[in-house]
Chains A and B, each alone.
Chain A
Amino acid sequence: MKSSARRLLSSDSRYVIVVLTPIVLLIALFIYYPAVDTFGASLTNRNLRIRRPPKAVGLDNYVKLVQDDEFWEVTGRSFKVVLITLPLEMAVAFGIAMLLNQRFPGRGLVRTLAILPWMLPGVVNGFLWGWLLNGEYGALNGFLYQFGLISEYQYWLREPDHQLFWVCVVQTWTRYAFPTIILLAGLQSIPDDLFDAAKVDGANAPQRVRYITLPLLLPSFGIALVVEFIAAFQIFDVVWTLTAGGSAGGAMNPFTKTLMLYNYELVFRDLRIGLGAALSYIILVMSLAVGVIFVMRVYNQGVQEQ
């Protein structure tokens, strides 16, 4: 019986089946099926706090969210994080990439150390900066004080606006290494003769950056921006330990509540599964839409400039 089954399948097919079955099963069961299931839940009023069988409500959850003030507040905050973080990150990354593109002894070591923060856990990064910025004993206060830049210790994280700004700074610190690497690779692919020719034609250094480096880096910037947009838009870990203040089950700090934190709260704190599921699909669509628009614009601009 067994041997006849074996004969039916060639040894190649058996290899493929053995190797791919676990992978396909895991992905189907853990990713695709739940994704569909979540969408199904978004069309019901499922709420684990209320003891009643969930009822189909069509698109009610989506309508409810779009009419809800908190939803727009949180969405606006997420876009604010993106709009502060991306320019900051790109500026830092471009500067470091330009520096690392120079030839000097010790460059490898500097490169290795410069991209370390990227490889650390986001929750640790949030904690590191929270401690650095601490109003009573923080190292930033001590440092600025000792250099005479402040005359008394500041509570850096007290004002809601400041909190969001520091969230963006820590997100920048966590992520700048990736755009740096992408831009550095882009820089290294620009042929030296271009600069030499420009020098002969009398272009000074800023002009060379403006008319050669930046246009040729446009595709690299595009890649970096799309990836970093998703990272900033779906920010979670860093906020959790820096300013969320809800770790022990307490209320979440409303001033840095971005989309992902809001969604986590809806689903896993408030247990409003239907509403939370709808929000997760709205986040998905927004991420993809902005990503696509972004790519198109950067791409078109690149085409025009050439």
Chain B
Amino acid sequence: MSFGLRGKERIRLGVIYVLCAIVLVWALAPIYWVAVSSISTRRELYSQPYKVWFPSEPTFESYHTIFTQGAKFRDGSFSPTAHLMSAGLRNSVIISVGSAAIVTLLATGAGYAFARMRFRGKNAIFLLIMLMLPLPIWVSLIALFFIMSRLELVDTLLGLVLIFVTLLLPLAVWMMTTFVRDIPSEIQDAARVDGADRWRILYSIVLPLARPGMVAVFLVAMLTTWNNFLIPLIFSRSDDSQPLTIVLTLFIGQYEVAWEDMSAAAVVTMLPPFLMALFFQRYLVRGLTMGAVK
């Protein structure tokens, strides 16, 4: 009897693992293939009809090429876009880390105000911020382009950071408000009675306890900014401010750029989000679903 049960359980697990394998192939195969492409030699990558599913002599040459010479055209010459990748990497890092840091700070201060204080206009301001969340930002972007060009902020890192901070604010403020509300308020109340002002309470009592929330906001903000394409497509013009998502499309646009080079560029572009998704998924899922569901 017990043997029969165990046999049944074994079949159940067997079926489950087969299904898991199918799911994982669906989810990971495209990622695997681009990673393999980026470290393949040209001869193996273009082999057909039989493909080489793992390179016999892995090479990092494509990475070296795109970072030092610009992408290689199929005829062997190099695109005149040397250092596009290094500039893109630098810009991506500055924009995403900068936006995430600023939005986290702003949202923490505001989150404390919305969660724990009473003031005139509180509900109105909260509504004003949150109304942005369901509205497609596209209607704002058209006129915003002309505002930014009047402010001479087109094609600058500062301009992009300001836009991303603004777009991230509603979700960040809302997340931080919920996080601060979940912190027990007894210690804060006691500190108030002892005469501590709001800055002091925020700094020495709320911040240490709100750290997981701040990490979540920071990570979500960084991921969304890093992955974004539409904003820099409109507001970037040159390697002064173009992030990697744009650089990748520039390579793809140049028809004759070698696939192994484009693959290497794609891997570099997706590596930070990939690692974040692998190691900080709990934080990210919480923030990203909150934003969509409310």
Contact = CB atoms under 8 A, between A and B. Distances in A.
A146 B50 contact: yes
Contacts of B165: 26
A178 interface: yes
B113 A34 contact: no
A146 B31 CA distance: 20
A145 to B, nearest CB: 5
Interface string A143-161: 1011000001100000000
Interface string A247-263: 11110000000001001
B262 A127 contact: yes
Interface string A12-34: 11011011101110110111111
Contacts of B109: 18-19
A211 interface: no
B106 interface: yes
Contacts of A119: 223, 227, 273-274, 276-277, 281, 284
B49 A38 contact: no
Interface stretch (A57-65, A70-78, A188-196, A229-237): A229-237
A11 B197 CA distance: 7
Nearest to A128: B30
Contacts of B187: none
Given A131-B37, A136-B48, A116 B292 contact: no
**Per DSSP, are chain B's interface residues mostly helix, strand or loop, or mixed?**
helix
Interface string B40-79: 0000011011110000000000000000000000000000
A117 B27 contact: yes
A110 B20 contact: yes
B262 A263 contact: no
B142 interface: yes
A121 B269 contact: yes
B141 interface: yes
19 contacts: A19-B106, A24-B129, A26-B169, A30-B144, A38-B143, A99-B23, A104-B13, A104-B17, A114-B27, A117-B31, A120-B227, A123-B245, A130-B252, A131-B263, A181-B289, A227-B292, A237-B229, A241-B252, A247-B253
The 5 closest A-B pairs by CB, nearest first: A247-B253, A142-B51, A248-B253, A37-B143, A34-B143
Interface of A: 11-13, 15-16, 18-20, 22-24, 26-27, 29-35, 37-41, 92, 96, 99, 102, 104, 106, 110, 112-125, 127-132, 134, 136-137, 139, 141-143, 145-146, 152-153, 173, 178, 181-182, 223, 227, 230, 234, 236-237, 240-241, 246-250, 260, 263-264, 267-268, 273, 276-277, 280-281, 283-284, 287-288
